[in-house]
Structure 1
Amino acid sequence: MIYELNHVGGPVRDLEASLSFYGELGAEVVDRLFMQGPRVHRVHIQLATGLVELLNSEQPGAQATYGLNHVGFMTDDLDGDYARLIALGYAEISSPRVAGSGQGRLAFLSDPNGVRVELLQRSEEFRVPPITTGPVRQFSYVGLAAPDLDAAAEFYGTHLGMERVSDDTFRLGADAVKLLPSATTTIAQLGLTTSTPAPDTQDPDGTHLTFLPH
C-alpha cells in the first residue's frame, strides 16, 4: 500500500547554494550521505513538514539538467504497487531495484502527464517533527503539471490513494500535491505558507516558489 507523500527532489548544480537558499526559509538538513557508485551527494532537507531531496553529482554529464524533477511516495509493498500501476497502463521508467544509497528499494514510473513518480520501500525515516523556527509555516503543496487534469486526478486520487481535499489538491500523510493544468514544467512549483507576506521567487536551479499567506 502507498501510504505517504515522502519528498520532492532532483539534481542541483551547486549544493551549497541550494542549502543556503532553503536554509534562509528555515529548512534544516535531516539526512546527508555520499553515494560512492554514482559519485552523488544526497541531502534531505525538511521545510516545515516537507522533505526536499537534493542530488549533487561530482561527475555531471554534458547534458545534465537541474531542478526538482520527481515526487517520491512510500509504500510497504513496492513490487505489488509497481506491478499494479504498470498493469493499469502507466509508463515504466525503472523497475524495482536496490537504491543507490543502499537504503531500501525503489522504482520509477510516469504519471499520465509525464511527471516522474518514485516509489520507495525502506525502513529509514528522515522526517522530523514540523519545523517552525523559520518563516515557512507549512509545506502547502508540490505543484505538478496536469494538462490532462482528469487523468491526473484518477492517478493520484484513485490509484495512489491520496485524499482529495479540493478540486485540484490531493493529500497523503503530511503533504499534498496540487495539479496545475497550465504548468509548463513537470514539477512546476512549491507552495509554501509563510508567517509574513513574501513575493514569489525561484530557487538556484529555477524551481518556482509561491508564498501563501498564513
Structure 2
Amino acid sequence: MEIKEFVLGLQHIGLPAKSIEETIRFYGELGFEVAWQTENGKCAFLKLQNIVIETYEVGEHAAQCYGAIDHIAIDVSDVDRVYALAQEKGYPVVSNGLETLPFWENGVKFFTIEGPNKEKVEFNQYL
C-alpha cells in the first residue's frame, strides 16, 4: 500500500502567530470564522468553506517573514497505517512518534515528518 491511498485531503495549515487576537481579527475580515479554540485561547482553528488554518500564539518567537507557515497537515483515514508506511520509507519523523491532542470533539492523532526543504508535513486523523 501507498500513503496516498489513505489521504482524504488537506486538513489545515499551521500558522504561528505573534498575537492570536490580531490573527483572528485579520482572518475574520477575510471571512474566516473561529471553528474551535482552546480554553486558554492561545490556539484556534479558523475556517472558511473548506480552508482551515490552525493558528497558535508564540509571541515574539513568530517568524514574521515570508515563508512563516509552520506546517501543512494532511487528513488521513488511518494514521497508524500511514505512520508504519512512513517508517518503512525512512521518512524522518520529527514529532514524538504518534501523538494525540484533545482538539475538536474527540481529539486528534498525528505525526510529523520533515520534507526535503525542512518543511513539516503532518499526517492527522480525527478520533
TM above 0.5: yes
1:65 to 57, 62, 66: 62
Aligned CA RMSD, in angstroms, stands at: 2.2
TM-score, normalised on structure 2? 0.77
Match of 2:13 in 1: 8
Separation in structure 1 between the aligned mates of residue 100 and residue 14 of structure 2, nearest angstrom = 18
Contact 1:7/1:72, CA 8 A, preserved across alignment: yes
Aligned residue number for residue 98 of structure 1: 100
Deviations 1:117-156 (A, max 9, x none): 1111214xxxxxxxxxxxxxxxxxxxxxxxxxxxxxxxxx
Q: Give the gaps of 5 or more residues in structure 2.
A: 1-5
Runs of 4+ with >3 A deviation: none
The structure number with the bigger radius of gyration is 1
| 1:112 positional shift | 2.5
The one-character-per-residue Cα deviations of 1:99-131 (angstroms, maximum 9, x if unpaired) are 2547121111112222101111214xxxxxxxx
TM-score normalised over the length of structure 1: 0.48
Task: Indicate if the aligned counterparts of 2:15 and 2:56 stay in contact, CA closer than 8 A.
Answer: yes
Q: Is the 8 A contact 2:102 2:108 kept in 1?
A: no
SS of the counterpart of 1:93?
Answer: coil
What is the identity percentage for the equivalent residue pairs of Structure 1 and Structure 2?
24
Match of 1:33 among 6, 13, 38: 38
How many residue pairs are counted as aligned between the two chains?
115
Of structures 1 and 2, the one with the larger relative CO (CA 8 A, separation 6+) is 2
| Larger proportion of helix | 2
1:23 corresponding residue in structure 2: 28
| Deviation string, structure 1 residues 26-70 (Cα, Å, up to 9, x no partner) | 1111111236xxxx722111134200011125xx6x8x3344210
CA displacement 1:67-104 (0-9 Å, x = unmatched): 42100111221121022123213211011022254712
